[in-house]
Structure formats: C-alpha cells, structure tokens
A = this chain, B = another copy of it.
Amino acid sequence: VTVAELGEMGLIARVTARLRALPPPAGPGDDAAVVPAPDGRVVATTDVLVDGVHFRLAPGWSSAADVGWKAAAQNLADIAAMGAVPTALLVGLVTPPGLTVDDADGLADGLRDACASTGATVVGGDVVAGAQLVLAVTALGDLQGRAPVTRAGARPGDAVVIVGALGRSAAGLALLRAGVTTADGYAGRCLVAHRRPDPPYPAGPALADLGATAMLDISDGAVHDARRIASASGVQLRLTHLVDEADWAGLSEVATLTGSDAHNWVLAGGEEHALLATLPPSALDAARALGARHVGEVVAGDGVVRARDGSPYAVTGYDHLAPTRTDIRPAHP
C-alpha cells in the first residue's frame, strides 16, 4: 500500500497516531501548534535531509525508522549545542506518491523514538508529494534561563573539550559503501552511529552551566566545525588530542577492513554530532565527569592547528551544493 492510496488525510491521521501526538493546540491538527516557552525565548533550528544525499532509504542501508531518527537527532543536537533543552519538532515531509505506508510508519516511529530521551514531541508538520523523499525538520528548545552558548565566545586560555565519539559515523558509512550492512562488535557500533546517531543531549545544557564559552555540534567534521568557532570568536584552536585512544583500535580495524584512513574519519567525519565546546580550565574536572575529553586549547591567533608548532590541518569541509570540491563525506551512495 502506498501513501497515495492512503491519501493525505489518511496518512496524517495514521502518522499522528504513531507519534503519540498531543491534541491541538499543543500538537498537530490546527493551523499551528502552541509550544511552551517558559524561558521567554525559544531556540529554533532547521535541517533538511534529502534521499540519496543525507541518507539512503534502501535495504541494507537505512530503514525508514533510521531515517526518521537521524532527521530528528541532528536537529535536537543543534538545540543542545546552544545550551538548551529540546521541546518540540515540526516535520515537513516531501514524499514520492509511491512511498509505502510501512515506510511512512517507519519515518514516524524513528522521529518519535529519537525524541523519547529528550522530552520533545512532534507538534506539527506538513505532507506534500514530490519526486524525491525530503525531510525538513525544525526543532525548538528552551534555555531555562541560561545565556545561549554561541560559537563566538571562545577566549585564549580556554580549554577545548569534546563530548561524544569522533569517526564512528564516518566508519559506519564506509562499511555500508563496502557492502557491510551488519556487523558485531565495534563495526556494529559504527553502523548504529551512522544510522541512528545518539548525540549527548544533556551535555549541552550541562556544559553551558559549567561556563562553556562557545559550543557547537560536529556535523561537518571536527576540524571544519572547530574553524567555525575560531572564526566567530577571533581565536585559534590548537587541537592536539582529537583521537580518542579508547576508539583507535576499533576505528583502525574498520579502516583496514574498508581500505580507509581512520585518522581522516576523526578529523573530518561529518554527522558525528559530538559536542565541541570551549570552557575555562577550572571547569575541566566537572566537564570530565560529564564524559568530556580534553582535546586542546584556545590561543590567540586564527584558524585550527594540530600542534604546538602551528602546523595547520589539511582537511576541508563538505559543501552541500558542490560536493566534488571537497575530500570529505561523499554523497550517498
């Protein structure tokens, strides 16, 4: 059965039920939803995912539930990276008329399940027909009285920390491209990291409470995203310990298996959704208790360097409009 056979109203009713949505005006079913914003400000972000570019809905690659999960997670991570708590998602879906109802169910389930650990729910959306499957997700969040943590506040003398793994999502993509669609052990964890990223949401507000001066979630590569903090803050980030020793054996094994470079995954892998933050060194012990790794320092200057001698990283970022320019995150497949 396809979504066209079900019809727009039938599909919306079915999906809304699976989302366990609240009744209007808090949830879908009216012109707009009404979402609590107790702080008096609302944090808002939009990310768009296109089939064949940001995911591949196909047997062995990603299930519809994986796709829904991923679309939610990467937006929720943006909310956390501001130091806020996610409150709501709105989902714009462009669907080919031939999408199966099973896949529509899966998208809804994935969106719902990715929200489950955060307290956010899907409060609204729109469904239209188009040639290519597209999910356009907007996430809203509440700062709970905190100052938002932007990319612009890093100061010389700050420590640089990362909460979450680097390279696993890129390793998972490499496995899929090599035809490895199921695996045990570390390789299996990489496949999960790629299909269902699990950003450390609570660490965002927690790092803000510890005095984080700048923060973002790593979606286009650690070095590339670090450059964004360096540029916005007018400082240099010296990242000397991006590789997590606890991950290295596993990443190296997957790299050998797939003929890849594990180091490049760590430096340049997109869609990792780890949080990269700068904060006063006095907060390092408390940050470590949240799972943060100390990966470098903020110094006067500009850009991102890999060593005390100032040698730059060679990796570049991913350009969504001209992918052939870059050396990272190839389009799927």
Q: Which of B9, B45, B319 contacts A319 (CB 8 A)?
A: B9
Number of copies: 2
Which listed residue, B47, B91, B322, touches A7 by the CB 8 Å rule? B322
Asked if B136 and A217 sit within 8 Å, CB to CB, the answer is: no
Partner-binding segment picked from A118-126, A281-289, A304-312: A118-126
Q: Which of A41, A81, A88, A143 has the most CB of B within 10 A?
A: A41
> CB < 8 Å: which of B7, B46, B77, B131 contacts A126?
B46
A198 to chain B minimum Cβ distance, whole angstroms, is: 17
Chain A residues with a Cβ closer than 8 Å to the other chain, count: 79
Q: Smallest CB-CB separation from A2: which chain B residue? A: B321
Contact B50 A130 (CB under 8 A): yes
Q: Does A260 contact B (CB under 8 A)?
A: no
Contact of A43 among B33, B136, B152 (CB under 8 A): B33
**A132 CB-CB contact with B under 8 Å:** yes
What are the residues of chain B within 8 A of A8 when measuring CB–CB?
319-322
Q: How far is the CB of A316 from chain B (nearest CB, A)?
A: 11
* Residues A42 and B35 in contact in the complex (CB < 8 Å), given A150-B24, A321-B95: yes
The answer to whether B128 and A78 have CB atoms under 8 Å apart is no
Task: List the 6 closest pairs (A to B, CB-CB), nearest first.
Answer: A136-B136, A32-B45, A37-B37, A48-B92, A92-B136, A46-B90
Q: How far is the CB of A132 from chain B (nearest CB, A)?
A: 5
List residues 223-252 of chain A with CB under 8 A from any CB of chain B. 232
Say whether B78 contacts A46, CB under 8 Å. Answer: no
11 A-B pairs besides A6-B321, A32-B81, A92-B92 with CB distance below 8 A are A9-B319, A32-B82, A32-B84, A32-B139, A36-B41, A40-B40, A46-B138, A49-B128, A53-B129, A54-B128, A129-B320
Provide 9 A-B residue pairs closer than 8 Å at the C-beta atoms, listed in order of the A residue. A11-B321, A24-B150, A29-B232, A46-B126, A46-B138, A47-B126, A50-B129, A94-B132, A131-B132
Could you tell me the distance between the alpha carbons of A123 and B45 in the complex, rounded to whole angstroms?
A: 9
CB distance from A151 to the nearest CB of B (A): 6
Q: Mark A35-77 against chain B: 1 for CB-CB distance below 8 A, else 0.
A: 1111111111111111001100000000000000000000001
Minimum distance in angstroms from A188 CB to a CB of chain B: 29
Cα–Cα, bound, A264→B151 (Å): 54
